[in-house]
Structure 1
Amino acid sequence: MTDHADGDMTDHTDSDMTDHTDAFVAYRNLLFTVAYELLGSAADAEDVLQDTWLRWVRVDLDQVRDHRNYLVRIATRLSLNRLRTLARRKENYVGPWLPEPLLTSPDVAEDAVLAESLSMAMMLVLETLSPTERAVFVLREAFAVGYDEIAEAVGKSEANVRQIAHRARRHVDARRPRETVSAADTRVALDSFRRALETGDLQGLLDVLAPDVVALADGGGVVQAALNPIVGADRVARFLIRGTSRVTDPVTVASIVINGNPALMMRLNGDLDGIMTAAMAGGRITGLYYVRNPSKLSRATAPTPLSRL
């Protein structure tokens, strides 16, 4: 029995509806994770989930061999369609665009493959791929989907998908972080960074920042943020010190886990100011990513369940 691209649409009994619901609920976290990795936006991923359900509920399950693959296929196609809308939105975005940070539970951090694919640094690398390349790479590398299923999802031949996967992997390998850094080492560096930032210790910041560190801040034109990347340890450190010295109350920084990786929650004057994540190499911070846009902080205070299964 073969799955078809759009499925066989039919009316359902109450029993059929229960089967549809059970299958969708079983894979909901996986579908959200796929959509989020393709889009970098939790809000858009939720929209994809809603549309996936509306299509799934009309499918004749007797014609579906594998519920997981079929649902992933629907979510992928809907995500690819939405990526085009996101691309237009990003063209008009004020300042750097960063993915929406998600507070995650410890089990996400324990999944090394998932944590790496969700890291802010990797998500930014994925932004440099074409939509099809991104879908092929994510489905293959993060979710171990077979080439035949990926071909169905992206509307390409299996041979073409294999070529796209090879090209995307080469592209990502050339741009991904230069070394694998443990969560423990990242946490140590961020703790040093946090102490220096809270006390206004310029030298402390310089000690933990790589000479060629790059800082990106996403304010979305809603709140103040640097409109261009800040490059170099001295410039980044002085920018951070200036920013925190302007507030009347102490800066408070809490260690949290964002997208499966160590991160910092920044509070200024007692209010949530933003989420900061980092890329590491050689024991120092090579990239700082600070999301301040309020519309992107709604998922930073309660864990979002994510899954590769």
Structure 2
Amino acid sequence: MGAIGPDSAVKDNSFECIELERKALLKFKQSLNDLFHCLSSWVGSDCCKWVGVRCNKHTGNVVRLHLRGTDICSKATNKSATHTKWPLSGELNASLLDLKYFNYLDLSHNDCENVQVPSFLGSLGNLWYLNLSHSSFTGKVPSQLGNLSHLQYLSLATPFSSSLWASDLSWLSGLTSLQYLDMSSVNLSRASSSWLQSINRVPFLSLLRLSNCRLSCLPQTLPFLNLTSLTILDLSFNSFDSLIPGWLSNISTLIELDLKRASLKGPISDVSWEIFCKLHSLHLSSNPQVVGEVNGLVEALTMCTYIGFGFQSTYMEFTNLIGLP
């Protein structure tokens, strides 16, 4: 993810924050439940010194909120709360819209159970980083997120089946700068017939994780393939009941490919494995209807050594495949 780096803000700010933006942050705080007082530093006139807040060193504008639950309490004055995993809960206040230069929001690992992802986030047009993962959001993913044309990183993932869902992913086509997309365990069953076509319209994706999304349709062909920059592809724990798709053979950039327990079937030889010379991790386990000799796959990958691509040891997981010696 080399193109995704830190913004122009620094911890040692030389300007006090702007009063309008300080008031916006206080409104945002008031709408949250902070039982462990992890935001206890949010007092005084200079919000640029508050925990999780980062300002532009030249203008004093708030550009970043890093409120990841696993981090903010470790920086709070309440030492008894340093080990809590989900410190913040409650509604997200639209006062964030008053932060005109705001470009980074991390609210991951908090407890927003029964709270929907607010549609106003789609109006934060400067965002390049949005992480709402592991925070138990519920309801429909708002299509307004598709307005974030500068967004490079989007994570809505949760480690288990959640009540967060999407019936349509066509809004992804508006995320023309997106490189990282993780929607693991978001219920995409209602978008199952069109999910790949929608994601294929995102031109610069390098990481795509859709594990455990209740997907049941895996198209075998595409009229064109935009996903030629993918380095990580995770489609594990879905119910495709289909062949390993031939279009995989056009993604030679893959470093990690995870297809375990995806209900795939058919000959393992249908994929041109010899093109995956950069592959470091391959998971095909628990697909009992995938058949064929694994030896041929291994030989195809090791051929990279002889054609100058420098293929090295790849972690490969094949348990529960038919055809194993």
Q: TM-score, normalising length from structure 2?
A: 0.24
Structure ranking higher in helix proportion: 1
